Amino acid sequence: MELQLALDLVNIPEAKALVAEVADYIDIVEIGTPVVINEGLRAVKEIKEAFPNLKVLADLKIMDAGGYEIMKAAEAGADIITVLGATDDSTIKGAVAEAKKQNKAILVDMINVKDIETRAKEIDALGVDYICVHTGYDLQAEGKNSFEELEIIKGVVKNAKTAIAGGIKLNTLPEAIKASPDLVIVGGGITGAEDKRQTAAEIQKLVKQA
Name the residues annotated as catalytic.
Answer: 61
DSSP code at position 169: -
Closest by alpha carbon to 179, among 204, 208, 147?
A: 147
Vertex 144: Cα angle to 138 and 145 (nearest 5): 110
Question: Phi then psi for 55, rounded to 5 degrees?
Answer: -80, 145
SS3 of 109, please? strand
Return the bridge partners of 84, or none: 109
Q: For residues 189 and 167, give the distance between their C-alpha atoms in angstroms, rounded to a whole number.
A: 7
